Amino acid sequence: MARERITFIASDAKEAQAALRRLRDRYGEAGDNADVIVALGGDGLMLHCLHQMMGGTFADLRLPIYGMNQGTLGFLMNPYAEDDLLVRLAVAESSVLHPLRMRAHGRNGRISEALAINEVSLFRETHQAARIRIFVDGRMRLDSLTCDGILLSTPAGSTAYNLSAHGPILPLNTGVLALTPISAFRPRRWRGALLQQEAQVRLEVLEADKRPVSAVADNKEVRNIIEVEISEDREIDLQLLFDPGGALGERILTEQFAP
């Protein structure tokens, strides 16, 4: 696939906006006729672009995204450089992501759906610890987890909040998801589980009136829930481009050896 017609997008940061102007002057702006999106910013902008690809501004384009870091961390981005951009795009390696689909049932009877690139998380809303019952593929696996919360992470998101919650780093093509407790109180020794990517996860909130819980799919929050269903949506392919040797799978592997 040709990657010569570019549409650029940038975060609101001053440096990113200045880079946007320079790159458009140098390489042009293809708009809806583009072959590739070049995103200038940090990981937050990349997640925003991916969500736009799934149901927003770029939903009809479904283009590969090549990020250049103009943010803070830039785990999902390539190093920023203005020279030889067309060459970098031509030889870039592709990583394909599949999002999680969350279906949250509220206490008010409303059902809310959202997609997540990194993780779907449940959090207690008050000083009371949450109590959550865990089902995997229709079978109850844990009758009651008393905790601050729990999350289901994709491999792409496993180095983010999942890692901070002491969950495992998942290599990109292992075909597994990480179910990780957040500050588990009972049972104390439960540290989570690795699930097949086809797994159907259902999290039931116990004593929801006394111990309210919210559900978050990346940046979309649904409050006062009683139940959440989560599964990977394999029909959605999201393509990220990386410089040779720096693909997402390699970055996740390298992260496991970080000091």
**Active centre residues (catalytic):** 43
Binding residue per annotation — 162?
yes
Binding residue per annotation — 119?
yes
Spatial distance between the Cα atoms of 253 and 248, rounded to a whole number of angstroms: 9
Binding residue per annotation — 108?
no
Secondary structure in 3-state letters for the chain: CCCCCEEEEECCCHHHHHHHHHHHHHHCCCHHHCCEEEEEECHHHHHHHHHHHHHCCCCCCCCCEEEEECCCCCCCCECCCCCCHHHHHHHCEEEEECCEEEEEEECCCCEEEEEECCEEEEEECCCCCEEEEEEECCEEEEEEEEECEEEEECCCCCCCHHHHCCCCCCCCCCCEEEEEEECCCECCCCCCEEEECCCCEEEEEECCCCCCEEEEECCEEECCEEEEEEEECCCCCEEEEECCCCCHHHHHHHHCCCC
Binding residue per annotation — 44?
yes
Binding residue per annotation — 121?
no
Binding residue per annotation — 174?
no
Binding residue per annotation — 164?
yes
Binding residue per annotation — 48?
yes
Binding residue per annotation — 148?
yes
Sequence ranges of the binding site for NAD(+): 43-44, 48, 118-119, 148, 156, 159-164
Sequence ranges of the binding site: 43-44, 48, 118-119, 148, 156, 159-164
